Amino acid sequence: MSSNISRRDFLKIGAAAAGSAAALGALKNVLSAQAAPEAATSVQTAAEQKVVASTCHLCSAGCGILVRVADGKAVKLEGNPMHPVNQGALCPKGQAAPELLYNPDRLTGPLKRDRATGETSPIQWEEAIQRVAQKLNDLRKAGHPEQAILMHGDTRGQMRSFLTRFMQAVGSPNIVSHESLNVAAAKMGMYLTQGIYDLPAYDIEKTNYILSFGANFLEAGSNPQRTISGYTYLRRGRATRGKVVVIDPRQGIHGAKADEWIPIKPGTDAALALGMANVIIKSGLVDADFVKNYSFGFDDIGKSKGFMNFVLENYDPAKVEQITGVPATTIARLAGEFASNKPALALLPGKGGLLNGGFGGVYAAMAV
Ligand code: SF4
């Protein structure tokens, strides 16, 4: 008979036993229910279940997901094994995505705050739109449309350009998103060095040597699932194990998991990169084809000093040691390893705008 006790029955007994002497009564009730099957309760199963393939939008990786839907509600996410980005894996944030959907504090409509009490109360969309339009008109009539600021979260499709155009129509340049504190600095570094306002995508699996300039790629990279699976393959999934070197004032998880962590004075990554470039040039390890075909300004142009002479004159490893705190011998060794373990990758900080990376980190990575 005991083998017929359902999980719910078992929990009833356990709860009663833990709480009081009523355990025996509970056990009696359960056993009598077993004796009369028509009265017994059973574990309830969802009436209707299906799996829907979709995409996780909680970061720019865009992992493929399989959503289990029970009785019309999304209850569980799994990685889609057919998706090229995550190949079946799913990071903890993606796993926890349903929490976001069902969070009791999630706002599902506009709220109005009472300035006197600070309390908020729900209002209809019509009223919210009316009030915002009125405020925007007031600012424009007063000649100060720039005092309107639009703040937004992540966007998809054409939404970002729509928001920008909307604020242009209002007359304000002030449009702020989380990107301002996130990847904007790194993107600007890319724009100034590569002419593209975006972050690069890396072919980590095919790399033999990764030099990370403050790129927190195992904790907060711009594409964590893709980066982590590439890193795993680099370290364990192929015949030649790739080497990972992390340059960062803070060790963090990526530094702890790297082959080597090089602590550095904050904000001096670019000097280190230029010191490495100095060694690479002096040692004759420069990739001449790459410099000729894909770079600009390596040699002097007229009276303007090119990158090579600028680096040779100003970034001797002994001087760079003073700036960065990284020993000159380490700088020389890193330069040799980087130049002779091709394909090597200097990793840009994806989300380092406030930390060691961002702007300077991008310049540093591009310098080597
Ligand atoms: S890495 Fe995580 S958060 Fe980003 S898209 Fe994939 S599952 Fe979602």
Does 314 lie in the same domain as 232? yes
Confirm or reject: Cβ of 5 under 6 Å from ligand 1. no
Does 334 lie in the same domain as 252? yes
Confirm or reject: Cβ of 275 under 6 Å from ligand 1. no
Q: Number of helices and strands (H, E) in the chain?
A: 15, 11
111 lies in some domain: no
Residue 292, SS3 per DSSP: helix
Number of folded domains that form the chain: 4
Does 225 lie in the same domain as 301? yes
Sheet of 64-70, strands arranged across: 49-55, 64-70, 73-79
349 lies in some domain: yes
Q: Does residue 268 carry a pLDDT above 50?
A: yes
Task: Indicate which atom in ligand 1 lies nearest the CA of residue 59.
Answer: 4
Does 133 lie in the same domain as 225? no
109 lies in some domain: no
Closest C-alpha residue for ligand 1 atom 1: 225
Backbone angles phi, psi at 88, to 5 degrees: 95, -15
Given pLDDT bands bounded at 50, 70 and 90, which one contains residue 28? very low
Q: What CATH number has the domain bearing residue 253?
A: 3.40.228.10
Confirm or reject: Cβ of 325 under 6 Å from ligand 1. no
Confirm or reject: Cβ of 235 under 6 Å from ligand 1. no
Task: Indicate which atom in ligand 1 lies nearest the CA of residue 58.
Answer: 3
Does 133 lie in the same domain as 213? no
Q: Quote the percentage of the chain above a pLDDT of 70.
A: 80
Probe residue for ligand 1, chosen from 54, 59, 100, 222 as the CB with the greatest number of ligand atoms within 8 Å: 59
Task: Indicate which atom in ligand 1 lies nearest the CA of residue 57.
Answer: 5
Given pLDDT bands bounded at 50, 70 and 90, which one contains residue 57? confident
Does 81 lie in the same domain as 27? no
Question: In terms of DSSP bridges, do strands 73-79 and 64-70 run parallel, antiparallel, or are they unpaired?
Answer: antiparallel
Does 355 lie in the same domain as 225? yes
Exposed / middle / buried, residue 263 (Cβ in 10 Å: 0-12, 13-18, 19+): middle
Does 12 lie in the same domain as 70? no
Q: Does residue 105 carry a pLDDT above 50?
A: yes
Question: Considering the chain, what is the average pLDDT of its residues?
Answer: 82
pLDDT, tens digit, for every residue of 221-259?
667 777 888 888 888 778 888 999 999 999 988 899 999
pLDDT, tens digit, for every residue of 135-154?
999 999 999 999 999 998 87
Q: What is the pLDDT of residue 45?
A: 62
Does 78 lie in the same domain as 27? no
Structure tokens at 158: 């054409």
Non-local (6+) Cβ contacts of 117 within 8 A are: none
231 lies in some domain: yes
148 lies in some domain: yes
Does 263 lie in the same domain as 206? yes
Q: Give residue 86 CA to ligand 1 midpoint distance, Å.
A: 8
Q: Give residue 357 CA to ligand 1 midpoint distance, Å.
A: 22
Given pLDDT bands bounded at 50, 70 and 90, which one contains residue 129? very high
205-213: average pLDDT: 90
Closest C-alpha residue for ligand 1 atom 6: 63
114 lies in some domain: no
Of the chain, the end-to-end C-alpha distance in Å amounts to 73
Does 128 lie in the same domain as 251? no
190-210: average pLDDT: 83
Confirm or reject: Cβ of 89 under 6 Å from ligand 1. no
Probe residue for ligand 1, chosen from 56, 65, 90, 228 as the CB with the greatest number of ligand atoms within 8 Å: 56
98 lies in some domain: yes
143, 160, 179: which is the final residue of a domain?
Answer: 179
Confirm or reject: Cβ of 228 under 6 Å from ligand 1. no
Q: Which residue has the higher pLDDT, 314 or 193?
A: 314
Does 260 lie in the same domain as 208? yes
Q: Specify whether the CB–CB gap between 129 and 114 falls below 8 A.
A: no
274 lies in some domain: yes
> What's 69-109 look like in SS3?
EECCEEEEEEECCCCCCCCCCCCHHHHCHHHHHHCCCCCCC
Domain extent at residue 68: 49-102
Task: Indicate which atom in ligand 1 lies nearest the CA of residue 91.
Answer: 2
Q: What is the pLDDT of residue 44?
A: 57
Distances (CA, A) of 331 to 105, 110, 348: 51, 56, 18
Confirm or reject: Cβ of 227 under 6 Å from ligand 1. no
